[in-house]
Amino acid sequence: MSTLDEKAKAGMEDHAAHGSDAKESGAGGFIILFFIIGFAASMVLGWVIFPKLLYSQKQQPLNFNHALHVEEVGEGCEGCHYFREDGSFSGIPKLAQCTECHEEPMGDTEDEATFVEQYVAKEREVPWLSYSRQPDCVFFSHSAHVIGAKMDCVVCHGHIGESEVSRPYEYNRITGYSRDIWGKDIAGLKKNSWDRMKMDDCAQCHKEAGMIHTSSVQTDRDACFVCHK
Amino acid sequence: MDSALIPKGVKRCPMWQFLLGLGIVGAVLAWGVYAMLLCWFKGLNQTNMNDYYGFALWIWADLAVIALGGGAFFSGLLKYIIGKDELKNIINYAVLIGFICYSSALLILAIDIGQPLRGWFIFWHANVHSMLTEVAFCLSAYFAVLTIEYIPLILENRQLDKVPFFHNLSHNMHETMAVFAATGAFLSFFHQGSLGGVAGVLFGRPFAFREGLLIWPWTFFLFTWSAAAYGPSFTLLITWITEKVARKKLVKDNVVELLAKISGWMIFTYTIAKICDTTRWANITAPGLGQNLADFYTGNAFYGYWILFAEIILGGVVPAIILISAPLRKNPTWRVTAFFLGVMGVSLNRWVMVLQVMAVPIMPFDTWALYYPSWQEVATTILPVAYGIILIMISYRYLPIFPQEAELNPIEEETAMAVEAHTESTPDLKPANA
Amino acid sequence: MKVDRRSFLSFVIGGAAGTALSPLPWKLMDDSSIWSQMWPWTPVPPDGEVVYEDSTCTLCPGGCGISVRKVDSRAVKIEGQSGHPVNDGSICILGLSGLQMLYGPTRIKSPMKRIGERGEGKWQKISWDEAFAILTEKLTDIRDKGEAHTVAALAGSDSGTVPALIQRFMAAYGSPNFMRSPSYRDVDELTVKALFGADGRTGFDVENADYVLSFGSGFVDGWGSPVRMFKAASLWKEKDIPVVQVEPRLSNSAAKATRWIPINPGTEADLALGIAAVMVANGIADTGDVSGLSGWENDLLANYEPQKVAQTTGIDAAVIVEVAKGFARADRPLALCGRGKAQTAVSLRETAAVYILNALTGNINQEGGMWAIPEADYIQWPDVATDNLASAGLDQPRLDGAGTGKYTDARYLTNRLADSVNGGGPYPLQVLLVAGANPCHYLPDTQHVKAAFARIPFIVSFSSFQDETAAMADLLMPDHVYLERYEDVPVGAGLVQQMIGLSKPVVSPQFNTRHLGEVLIMTAKAMGGSIADAFPWDDYETCLEETLAEKWDTLMETGVWVRADTDPVAGSIQLAGLDAPAVQAEGDVNSFPLLLVPYDSIQLTSGYMGEAPFMIKAVSDTVIQGTDGFIEINPLTASGVGLGEGDRATLTTPRGEALVRVHLFEGIQPGVLAMVRGLGHTAYDGYLAGKGVNVNELIGPVEDPSTGFDAAWGIRAKLDKA
Amino acid sequence: MFPFSFEWIWDAGHIVFHGGLWYALNIIGIGMTYCVIKAVIDSAKGKGGHGHH
Amino acid sequence: MKQAQTHGTPMKYGMAIDLDKCTGCGACMVACMAENNIPFKEDESDKRVSITWMRIFKLTNGKSFPDSDICYLPRPCQHCEGHEGHSPCVSVCPATATDYSRETGIVSQIVTRCFGCRYCMGACPYHARYFNWWDPVWPDGMEKYLSPDVSPRMRGVVEKCSFCFHRYQLAKNKAYLDGERRVPEAAYQTACTQACPAGAIVFGDLNNPEHQVHQIVKPDSNNGNRSRNPKAFRLLERTGTNTKVYYLSSREWVRRAGDNYLAHEKTGQLAKLHH
């Protein structure tokens, strides 16, 4: 095409361009504003709404008063949560164990009544929801920690022994984990040793325990086959 | 209707033709996608892989496309670092092809792993002793580089370029491209090599195992070298095919011949190295482990000495000679034959380093394991090809891929005028999505 | 307008930035991977308190002690009971698979009555009361018509209280037709009677022998008490004891032997006699325990001198002499008889020959030798007071003709059941009760057997599993499986001492099943009269406890009762049975040039039990591929027919035809084909049904004229490319 | 991948490997940031568009 | 090499399998399946997609009738030590899903970490690693016998023999309770060892002179842990996988079948190890 046309076109387009530039400067403020709105909205979504959606709650089949039992039974936690002869840990007591004392209602609370009627009488196991159940791939040895390392239950389980009511059981809708594993704090931050029970938390403690936990060729930590099955 | 988006001064096929083409290739793509979904939702039982064939067609495809995509980093290296400026006329296409190859590789990997949702473990829980870890990191990082190299190309679309921000962005990216190219070369060197290492480190498998330098087996260097050598050949082959399809010349011969020559010398040197490696392996490495060539190339229905010949002679020596000798190189037929043989050779090499490795029995009482892919595997392997063609079609139509195209194919006045008029009649222009 | 577009863009960018800085994407990524680590459809076995409970395995006659690991109420693993006299902690592939039978989907979960055509598999669940009603009504009708004898019962074995209760029921009811599944025991008992002149069984002191000569006995293929034999075989290795395996095929036992001597199939007796001849000729035989030799010596030396035997057996004369000398000169030599797992009888001639061989070493009832001991008879019940109907019925001859005519010595001739039902019998059979047996799978010429079963008006199956015989039944009254019930387990299986094991309920019954003993007692009571009187016990457990008397406590404590100092039935033998004819393979050589011999594998039960999925999984791909069954063939023979490894071929015998695939095996004599026993099930589920070929459909019974037992060791066959 | 992840060890392998990796990633990151920011500034200066450089 | 000092010398669990005794009965295979919740399909006859941590190979001497001979070879994971724990599979796993323990010498496989790239399967010359091509499905009711000590695997991951490591964990529990530092020999035995009716498998700590396996194998630490027992050999010893499963056979042809040899090489001869 001819150079003349070129010039003409360029001129026209320049014009248009400047026009648009003018508009731009006015729009600048808006643009920033919209950016902030989008930013804020997504932050709220991610930090506030998302956790609410992610976790769901269940109530324990009946209210359990740890404090009272510790006081009544004595022997501290071992009174009910003991080691079997093969070194395995009994965990949440089976009905038979409760029945030893609760053949007849003890005290007149409502929960006591339901417990005796619904479970003891019908010989149905109580479907307790375990706050600190690790996934199936984890092998956790209570004897290694409690007998071997002489650790206190509180380190991992917190002060549940002092609780008078059973708090609701929260679980992750996607993974089915108890919320105690990841911790209440959605950011996964922890203040106490029992706030979180993910692999890194075990690892941290093991690392602090020093040289004996360096059997892994790959990581110089504990080999996988210590806590995994 | 989309002429406003078509680069200035070039002619493109009518919309209906373009859409028809898209439709046909799209159908193939859809087939591949269906197979991909089957693999994701039903699991890898959809494939013919088995416990003897943990790696099969897919991993071969990965290694192959990455080797062929090597043209991108190598021509980038030549242009931006070595300063072979003529290559600017083909670098765009090299980048596009590289981009397609690498995105395909990543997609295939995502299908190949048994637990795609955990794929990120390879980064998060990285084991630095594993060649595959190195592959994953460098591959992803280099893909980022390729994307960076591809973006300015997109921004040069006639309409996008009108947006000042985009214009400046692409401008600046061009300015700093050398840095990216250098990084890309660095990354490529390692992941191409690691892909070679993947087989080379298998000290339990005498067929694959190679000694080497420090932690890197010889295959590490051979793979890098071969990618650099054959990559450009592939770029040129695709260019040639594109020219045939577009029925016009897109890149000047001097450029093609330059790259072809370089490729030729690279292939030549690589082949020498490969021959040395094979000789050492056949006479020292394998016998040291109690095996000799006959154990690897006889006693089964498929893998014979022919594969050695096909890979090294047909796919190595022959194309090398053709591309080195000026008269043969300048003859298009010979040249393209060389490209083709080269591509065949490097693909065959990758095949051997994946599938034959799996096929050879190691325990004396074990048996050869032969395998043929299931249709799902084939479909998912063709999927990226279809995707590549589509991306090329779109890019070629709307982006100034070939700087020399306009000059090589001047268009007559009236058509040009028509295009102009058309453009001006549409003042408010939408971006490329039109 | 432009503003909108750009603002929207910046809104999106801001959103992206915010999201990236929130836990949302990262937690989702983590959680989705955790979700993939605990997919709800991948089971998570509940944890609990672990306890071990000891019992006795009854899946085969071996009588091993088992120790079942339980987590709370679930049984999760069966292991060998350490310290047990039979298996001391070890266990076999079948015993290990027990839980797949206990919890398996092929259990019969409640009483059922047939509503469809026979074998069609259409059933209706019914209550136990209804089941009892149907059974008693049926039996009472027949009995009142004075046809009590037309009811027959087929049990897996005849020892122990449960089979005893069946026998007692038949007696009180008035039928002579109690039968047990055929096995080597038949001919063993008969031969012991013939040679030692008393009732009893043989025992083999394998642990103490110092030279073992096995005539095709699969000592590591399931012969005798399998785990005990495995241990013995290892002991032989440790003590470097010569073990000679005589067999046409390189079986696992042959492979474990120090020497494998291939022999022409069916000529084992000749070899045994040949060896005897060499011993006598060279004066290295110890004739102290043998009477009647003088009268027979000349024939022996004349008919069985090495050259002749070499002719028949295909074994080099020198080898025969060598083996004879090695055998005779050993301190505690032992010769074993009964092919493979000894699940089938062999000819009287062969059995007698081998037993006499043992006698000629002077090692009868000695350490490391062959013993003849009585069965432990602890079941001391008062005789049944039969009423007239019963007495009348009992006076009738047996359907299978055992105990009368030619076959006075035979107690059961179950192999003739089919023939008599198909018209050969003295009277028609109206009702058949089947317990712990699966004749429709393992009796020879199975098609013929099934045809016979189709003719029987009323069949009751007490099986716990949906096996081939249950499929032919009209009424199903499922028994508990061994892990759910009490039962005494008298162990024979070649042990040199009397032994009784005890099965205890390890888990509570999983389904609506009833203990067979219980069912019999209740049926008897329901029928009233003299039948009811014959069953004075309130329930089976009482019956068992009373019967075992003083043994009960021992059994409850240790799970096993052993009597080591058993007196042999007799100290010496009287030569007999040597004039008995050899049993030939059915079919003529011209139209059937090859020989098909079945072989036993420890990986397949080939008995009443169907194979569990685990066992089938362990079976080699040269035995089954998909549903194809394989035959073993020597490469020479194969190339003769133009067949290569894995090729399909049609295998034809006088009794039937089957599509098979060939596995080339250098360990088998040219001209001989071998097919494994136990496959080709038509019942059970997809984990077992339809896999391979049932060799019993290709081989027919061949009666040993001197006993009446089926002594078929193979059949002529031909193979054609398919 | 990060010094705080379980698998990390402060050994030559990790330092060299991840050193190289992070080096590359940083160049890419910084490079892009530079281009973008400069583009923003240039655009604000009214530069660019319609091919006059 | 760093190791669990406070525990004294580390353990090195290994096996000695006597092929003269092994009858190929398959009890070890099934004991393993039952112990480790190994899934099964209706058709398991394609052994290349059949999960058997313990698999029995049938060896033949290649001679023709009647000189032919067979031998069975049970093959668990060989728990290669390679060079200082860098076994073929451990070193290649990109996600650190498989690991070598200096304390027990056991090669672990963590299926929840594995993302199914199958590189380890390519690296293992023994085919001891198996991929879950299908979701594990137990016929109705059979999931009742699943053991809680071993976690069932999901589709899409690699699994293999663990030397029944869970039994070590359980024995360790008991040891803590009894105040013992070490697990006694009898307290930790693999399921296959325990089941084998021929008593062909011996399992224990190769480093512990009191353990039977040590006494049989007599490993020579100055010679790449090769056995001093003339009857003993390891599979593919020349590749330097440095396995912890030793095989015993009095038959030369069997020992020769355990490794690759050039025609002129003597059985048991080692060329220099590469790498």
pLDDT of A160-179, one tens digit each?
A: 999 999 999 999 999 999 99
Q: What is the spatial distance between Cα B370 and Cα B359, in angstroms, rounded to a whole number? A: 6
Nearest to E240 among B43, B116, B203 (CB): B203
Tell whether A16 is within 8 A of chain B (Cβ).
yes
- Average pLDDT, whole number, for chain A? 84
Gap from E84 CA to chain A (nearest CA, Å): 8
C23 contacts A46? CB cut-off 8 A = yes
Tell me the chain C residues in contact with residue A30 when contact means C-beta distances shorter than 8 Å.
Answer: 3, 7
pLDDT of E83-99, one tens digit each?
A: 999 999 999 999 999 99
Tell whether A220 is within 8 A of chain D (Cβ).
yes
Chains adjacent to A (≥3 CB pairs closer than 8 angstroms)? B, C, D, E
C35, closest residue in chain B (CA to CA):
B117
Mean pLDDT, each 10-residue run in order, chain C (722 residues):
69 92 94 93 94 95 96 96 94 96 95 92 95 96 94 94 96 95 94 93 96 96 96 97 96 96 95 95 89 87 94 95 95 95 92 94 93 92 92 93 88 92 89 96 93 95 96 96 96 93 96 96 94 94 94 92 88 86 92 96 90 96 96 96 95 96 96 96 94 95 92 95 90
Tell me the chain B residues in contact with residue C36 when contact means C-beta distances shorter than 8 Å.
Answer: 115, 117-118
A219 contacts E90? CB cut-off 8 A = no
Largest Cα–Cα separation, chain E: 60
DSSP letters of B259-291? HHHHHHHHHHHHHHHHHHHHHHIIIIIHHHTT-
Q: For residue A212, what pLDDT is reported? A: 73
Q: For residue B161, what pLDDT is reported? A: 86
Token pair belonging to A184: 């209440």
Indicate the angle between helix axes C184-196 and C348-359, nearest 10 degrees. Answer: 50
**Among A185-189, C144-148, E146-150, where is mean pLDDT lowest?**
A185-189
Tell me the chain C residues in contact with residue A31 when contact means C-beta distances shorter than 8 Å.
Answer: 6-7, 10
CA angle B9, B10, B16 (to 5 degrees): 135
- Average pLDDT, whole number, for chain B? 90
Element (H, E) at C238: helix C226-238
Any long-range contacts for A9-15 (C-beta under 8 Å, 24+ apart)?
Answer: A10/D50, A10/D52, A13/D50, A14/D50
DSSP C480: P
Contact of C241 with C209, CB cutoff 8 Å: yes
A87 contacts E173? CB cut-off 8 A = yes
- Phi/psi at B210 (5° precision): -135, 145
- First-last CA distance in chain B: 9
* Coil, helix or strand at residue C211: strand
Contact of C361 with C211, CB cutoff 8 Å: no
A1 contacts B127? CB cut-off 8 A = no
Binding-site residues on chain B for chain A (CB distance < 8 A): 127, 129, 162, 164, 413, 416-417, 420, 427
Token pair belonging to C240: 């470097």
pLDDT band, residue B433 (cuts 50/70/90): very low
- List, in order, residues 6 or more apart from B319 with CB less than 8 Å away: B233, B264, B267, B337, B338, B339, B341, B342, B345
Gap from E218 CA to chain C (nearest CA, Å): 19
Q: Where are the beta strands (DSSP E) in B173-237?
A: 212-213, 216-217
State yes or no: pLDDT of D50 exceeds 80. no
Contact of E136 with E153, CB cutoff 8 Å: yes
Q: For residue C403, what pLDDT is reported? A: 87
Cβ neighbours, 10 Å, residue A163? 14
Q: For residue A165, what pLDDT is reported? A: 93
Q: For residue E176, what pLDDT is reported? A: 93
User: From the candidates A21, A30, A33, A42, which should be mutated to test the interface with C, based on the most C CB atoms within 10 A?
Assistant: A42
**Chains C and A make contact, 3+ CB pairs within 8 Å:** yes
Token pair belonging to C420: 């008599």
Q: Stretch E132-147: mean pLDDT, rounded?
A: 96
Nearest to A143 among E6, E84, E173 (CB): E173
Contact of C213 with C323, CB cutoff 8 Å: yes
Q: For residue E129, what pLDDT is reported? A: 97
Residue C67 C-beta-side C-alpha neighbours within 13 Å: 16
Bridge partners, residue C373, by sequence: C201
- Average pLDDT, whole number, for chain E? 93
Gap from A219 CA to chain D (nearest CA, Å): 5
Tell me the chain B residues in contact with residue A218 when contact means C-beta distances shorter than 8 Å.
Answer: 127, 129
Contact of C160 with C680, CB cutoff 8 Å: no
- List, in order, residues 6 or more apart from C64 with CB less than 8 Å away: C56, C57, C80, C81, C84, C86, C87, C91, C92, C95, C225, C227
Any long-range contacts for B255-258 (C-beta under 8 Å, 24+ apart)?
Answer: B255/B86, B255/B87, B255/B89, B255/B90, B255/B404, B256/B90, B256/B335, B257/B329, B257/B330, B257/B335, B258/B84, B258/B86, B258/B87
Q: What is the spatial distance between Cα C649 and Cα C666, in angstroms, rounded to a whole number? A: 19
Q: For residue B1, what pLDDT is reported? A: 66
Tell whether B375 is within 8 A of chain D (Cβ).
no
State yes or no: pLDDT of B69 exceeds 70. yes
User: From the candidates D6, D41, D53, which should be mutated to test the interface with A, based on the most A CB atoms within 10 A?
Assistant: D6
- List, in order, residues 6 or more apart from C576 with CB less than 8 Å away: C194, C195, C292, C352
pLDDT of B370-387, one tens digit each?
A: 999 999 999 999 999 999
* Confidence (pTM): 0.93
User: Looking up tokens 């079945």, which residue turns up?
Assistant: C598
Q: What percent of chain B has pLDDT over 90?
A: 71
Contact of C152 with C144, CB cutoff 8 Å: no
Gap from C31 CA to chain B (nearest CA, Å): 10
Token pair belonging to C241: 């004891």
DSSP C687: T
Cβ neighbours, 10 Å, residue C539? 12
C77 contacts E146? CB cut-off 8 A = no
Q: Stretch B270-289: mean pLDDT, rounded?
A: 95
Letter string b/e over residues B284-298, b meaning 16 or more CB atoms within 10 A of that residue's CB: ebbbbbbbbeebbbe
Where residue C529 falls (left for φ over 0; alpha for ψ -120 to 50; beta otherwise) is: left
Gap from A16 CA to chain B (nearest CA, Å): 9
